[in-house]
């Protein structure tokens, strides 16, 4: 699947689709940096899928692996709207992603620059390059803040009201 739009723009579009479906607005896109081709993509779906592992990054990794017929995604780039959590960082490492580019940092749940700093651990077998996308951080952060603000103001809007 190819696209003319920049990868982070597509990830933000997927995040907006997740929010419209009542999911936390996170989107992820896996790209072949040599061709610019989107190899896999995903939007957060743990609520709809009844699957706690259905994070945007995991869905994108699965999509890319199936599309390529290989669980090793060596050299590919992952664009994601939010700093990955520990589970996603582990999957990124196992997939051998070459570079992770994320927009909004996540001091509470992130695991790359915050929390466990997964890729810095001795037990991490593969360490991708990491890059913050400052140009899209505000938009990604605004999507997340608006989503959670709506849920706090109107608890009937979703299951997150009690969390």
**Closest to 131 (Cα-Cα) out of 41, 7, 3, 1:** 7
Active-site hit among 23, 37, 41, 57:
57
Distance CA(160)–CA(163), nearest Å, equals 5
**By CB neighbour count within 10 A (0-12 exposed, 13-18 middle, 19+ buried), where does 163 fall?**
exposed
Strand partners, 99: 77, 129
Active site residue 57: yes
Chain-centre distance of CA 88, in angstroms? 8
Within 51-163, residue ranges assigned H as helices are: 56-68, 86-95, 134-153
The answer to whether 10 and 18 have CB atoms below 8 angstroms apart is no
Catalogue the active-site residues. 57
């Amino acid at each position: 699947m190819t696209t003319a739009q920049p990868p982070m723009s597509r990830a933000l579009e997927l995040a907006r689709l997740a929010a419209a479906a009542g999911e936390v607005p996170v989107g992820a896109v896996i790209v072949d940096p040599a061709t610019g081709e989107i190899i896999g993509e995903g939007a957060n779906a743990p609520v709809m899928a009844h699957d706690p592992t259905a994070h945007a990054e995991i869905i994108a990794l699965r999509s890319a692996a199936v599309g390529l017929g290989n669980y090793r995604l060596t050299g590919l780039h992952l664009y994601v709207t939010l700093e990955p959590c520990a589970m996603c960082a582990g999957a990124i490492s196992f997939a051998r992603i070459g570079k992770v580019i994320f927009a909004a940092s996540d001091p509470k749940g992130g695991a790359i620059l915050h929390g466990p700093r997964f890729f810095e651990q001795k037990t991490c077998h593969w360490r991708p390059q990491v890059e913050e996308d400052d140009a899209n951080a505000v938009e990604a952060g605004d999507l997340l803040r608006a989503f959670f603000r709506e849920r706090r103001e109107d608890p009937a809007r979703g299951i997150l009201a009690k969390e």
